[in-house]
Amino acid sequence: MPSIQRQSVARWRLRLPGKARLPVIILAAGILALANSTPAPAVDARTRVDLELVLAVDTSGSVDMHEYTLQMQGLIAAFRDPAIIAAIHATGPNGIAVTLVHWSSASEQEQVVAWTQIHDATTADAFAASIEELPRRRRFFDSTGIGSVLQFGERLIRRNRFDGRRKSIDVSGDGVNNSGIPPELIRDDVVAGGVTINGLAILDEAPHLQAYFARNVIGGAGAFVMTVEGYIDIIAGTRAKLLREISVSIAGRDEADGSHYQ
């Protein structure tokens, strides 16, 4: 309680007869205790960033160990690429927040690299190093649950400590959903929460996967699906996809589209 209020309580006590002082003293003590125990207004502790990005990488049974390694190498190279770092710089002083998820069937998703704020070459290299340190043997080898990983990615965005101007889930995969809830039943709810879903379709085993992603997976402001013919192109394709996803100059597109990289 401010000192002026304490002085006023003291004056009241001095002016009262002896028998009346005790109730007033008790009342004054109660007021002081209430003032000291009143909690401060809640403060939003979330960190502002330009983009919250979930990188959801397919590690299902159709992805062999060599193909998995190429996907990881693509991400490592991308976050050390000068063009990607320049794009991150351009988003503003707080940069972006990124996390990496491995996924397979409806019950198999794992956040393998925690949310990381990236705003310069040093923080980008630290994220790349975290990917390098992952165990060489991945955890999942099962079916393909795209709808479930969209749910998982949305929860990661909703519960993190960041407040992004943009929010995206980036799904890479080489097959259609064959486990759990279909992605088209999840997509609209995710998009309604302000999250854009983008895709990287790997066409070597499913030549029509781009159309499937466009119809059933991607959605939201500026959503896109990019394609590569096979895992041999995945490193360059990952760079192109991330450059497009991070770059402010092209992030405001309202139409969903498809792009091919080769």
Tell me: do 71 and 198 sit in the same domain. yes
C-alpha to C-alpha distance for 79 and 10, rounded to whole angstroms: 66
Residue with tokens 């991607």: 218
Cα 7 to Cα 1, 2, 25, 36, 225: the distances in Å are 10, 9, 13, 17, 70
Q: Which of 145, 212, 148 is nearest to 179 (CA)?
A: 145
Tell me: do 86 and 131 sit in the same domain. yes
Q: Which of 257, 209, 203, 205 is nearest to 228 (CA)?
A: 203
Instruction: Specify the 3-state DSSP secondary structure of 174.
Output: coil
The DSSP output letter for 62 is T
Tell me: do 140 and 76 sit in the same domain. yes
Sheet containing 109-118: order of strands? 109-118, 96-103, 47-58, 162-173, 196-202, 224-228, 257-260
Tell me: do 24 and 56 sit in the same domain. no
> Which tokens go with 86?
């320049």
Task: Please give the tally of structural domains in the chain.
Answer: 2
For residue 143, the enclosing domain spans 47-260
Is 32 domain-assigned?
Answer: yes
pLDDT of the chain, 262 residues: tens digit per residue: 444 344 443 443 434 455 544 444 444 444 444 445 445 444 468 899 999 999 999 999 989 999 999 999 999 999 999 999 999 999 999 999 999 999 999 999 999 999 999 999 999 999 999 999 998 777 777 899 999 999 999 999 999 999 999 999 999 999 999 999 999 999 999 999 999 999 999 999 999 999 999 999 999 999 999 999 999 999 999 999 999 999 965 444 444 455 544 4
